[in-house]
Amino acid sequence: GYGAAQIRATGEIIGTGLKKWSPVDRKWTDLVTSSSGESPRWPIAFDARRGQMFYLQWGDGQGFDPQRLVACRVVVSTGQQANVSFNPSSALTQWLAEKPMYAGMDYDMDNDRFLFYAGQGTAAGRVYVIQPNDSNVWDMSVLSAGGVKVAASPDNLSGIQNRLRYIPALRGFVLLARGSANLYFMRTAA
């Protein structure tokens, strides 16, 4: 796999095949010791509060098989992978109808949540909030972002390719919706 997420405190990189690159040892090792059977692609983000990687994708992240929601978490210290499901909500229903591909996601450490964005077509500007907890059943909602107009990400099967990142020093997220668009910034904490 290639780098998809970073553990900021250690500089370790997590690849899409759930391999972990150590900048100290300069080698790849397996992150997962006990698999749930799901294969991650992207987006993947690190929940620093719980010490876990989380990935959420439609199918393989590119819209291909399996044609369903795929969500898992991996506790980094134990290597245990567990499937995550979501409580019913209008946001979950909308997410399932959109079947987002080539999305971006990162962990908002100030608000203990993940923000997920694909932004293709009519989903432009719609940010999903994923609320983690210590169980395997989480909540999903839609973030109220006011009247901000965001350019749609490419719908030619290229998406935003994980170009949504939390910037700790700015206490917010930066998004590049498409190569020809401006950068967007959303502050999530004062």
Mean pLDDT of 152-175: 84
Predicted confidence (pLDDT) at residue 132 exceeds the cutoff of 70: yes
86 token code pair:
């979501």
Which secondary-structure segment (H or E) carries 94? helix 90-98
Q: pTM score, two decimals?
A: 0.91
Q: What percent of the chain has pLDDT over 70?
A: 95
pLDDT band at 139 (very low <50, low <70, confident <90, very high): very high
Backbone angles phi, psi at 78, to 5 degrees: -110, -20
Nearest to 71 by CA among 159, 130, 8: 130
Question: How many contiguous H segments (helices) and E segments (strands) does the chain have?
Answer: 1, 16
Average per-residue pLDDT in the chain?
89
Q: Is the peptide bond before 66 cis (omega within 30 degrees of 0)?
A: yes
d(CA 77, CA 47): 12
Name the amino acid, one letter, at 54: F
Predicted confidence (pLDDT) at residue 16 exceeds the cutoff of 90: no
Residues 6+ away with beta carbon under 8 Å from 92 = 86, 140
- More reliable by pLDDT, 34 or 180: 34
pLDDT tens-digit readout, 63-90: 888 899 999 999 999 999 999 999 999 9
